[in-house]
Amino acid sequence: MAATFFGEVVKAPCRAGTEEEEEDEEERRETPEDREVRRQLARKREVRLFRRQTKTSLEVALLEKYPCSKFIIAIGNNAVAFLSSFVMNSGVWEEVGCAKLWNEWCRTTDTTHLSPAEAFCVFYHLKSNPSRTQCPEQLGRQVRQMRCRAGEVFLCQCTCYVAEDQQYQWLEKVFGSCPRKNMQVTILTCRHVTDYKTSESTSSLHSPFLKALKTQNFKEPPCCSLLEQPNIAHDLPAAVLSYCQVWGIPAVLYLCYTDVMKLDLVTVEAFKPILSSRSWKGLVKNIPQSTEILKRLMTTNEIQSNIYT
């Protein structure tokens, strides 16, 4: 305490530390109620994996239960629509798990019929290949048989936002505590073109365009140019890529810079160059059929907004 010239007593800051500071510290110390609130908040923010069909929770990490050689993660509605149209349109895909999470920005949906416009995080694995009899020659050269064996491919479609404090939980629940190194991880996501740092003006950029970022152990040449500095990856894609780099898993992130973040045909088709990469050969499907599926997805999920015309 100190007295001013005019006789008023004021609280003066003191580096030595006074009794009053101890009182303040007591006030700042957590009460049992604070601890309870913190515990409940942590419980609410837990990432849980469960099976939607049986509503049972999954105790084992997904990739430990379903080991695979290819793990493809689509994050964001455009990347999810790309996988739905070009990869999941043939073969039998079984839903093996679903991540349920809550944060201030999103809550995953519980509906059975999922659309890329909703927030969800669902995992699939390839249950069975289409047989030779199901792909007769009269369908033409455009139809290619899936050469991947059943169970080799694991997919994740994630349109929800995974907060920073939830990302490690998500990774542990999906990859497990000791992930296998003999699988290849591909991450697809989008970012707005205004986040792309370049010396050129953004109006001269030909968006949408793809950029790649890969881990040290990823030896295959990516199907587009690498992401230049000082651009960085963000959020869950960055977390997955960092995790793979630490554990020595070959992984590549394909980042599509677009000026339309909502579900958009042109943005989804910007991912098409990935279909020509070596590791995706067995996953290439009947492309005209894929385009039709994509158009149907667009029309069913178009959000009516009158702000822009």
Partner 1 sequence: MASRYDRAITVFSPDGHLFQVEYAQEAVKKGSTAVGIRGTDIVVLGVEKKSVAKLQDERTVRKICALDDHVCMAFAGLTADARAVVNRARVECQSHKLTVEDPVTVEYITRFIAALKQKYTQSNGRRPFGISALIVGFDDDGIPRLYQTDPSGTYHAWKANAIGRSAKTVREFLEKNYTEDAIANDNEAVKLAIRALLEVVQSGGKNIQLAIIRRNQPLKMFSAKEIELQVTEIEKEKEEAEKKKSKKIA
Which positions lie near partner 1, rule CB under 8 A? Answer: 194, 203, 206-207, 259-260, 265-266, 295, 298-299, 302, 304, 306-309
Report which of 228, 219, 222, 287 is spatially closest to residue 254, judged by C-alpha positions: 222
CA distance to 96, 104, 138, 154, 171, per residue, from 242 (Å): 25, 24, 46, 19, 11
In whole angstroms, the minimum distance from the beta carbon of 268 to partner 1 comes to 11
Residue 61 or 294 with smaller CB distance to partner 1:
294
**Side-chain-side CA neighbours of residue 230 (13 Å):** 2
In whole angstroms, the minimum distance from the beta carbon of 82 to partner 1 comes to 15
Residue 122 or 193 with smaller CB distance to partner 1:
193
Residue 232 or 266 with smaller CB distance to partner 1:
266
Whole-number Å distance between alpha carbons of 113 and 95: 13
CA distance to 15, 271, 299, per residue, from 85 (Å): 65, 11, 14
In whole angstroms, the minimum distance from the beta carbon of 275 to partner 1 comes to 20
In whole angstroms, the minimum distance from the beta carbon of 298 to partner 1 comes to 6
Residue 42 or 266 with smaller CB distance to partner 1:
266
Three-class SS state of 120? coil
Residue 182 or 201 with smaller CB distance to partner 1:
201
Residue 138 or 304 with smaller CB distance to partner 1:
304
Three-class SS state of 263? coil
In whole angstroms, the minimum distance from the beta carbon of 272 to partner 1 comes to 15
In whole angstroms, the minimum distance from the beta carbon of 73 to partner 1 comes to 26
CA distance to 103, 197, 211, 278, per residue, from 226 (Å): 32, 14, 5, 17
In this structure, are residues 147 and 282 in contact, taking their beta carbons and an 8 Å threshold? Answer: yes
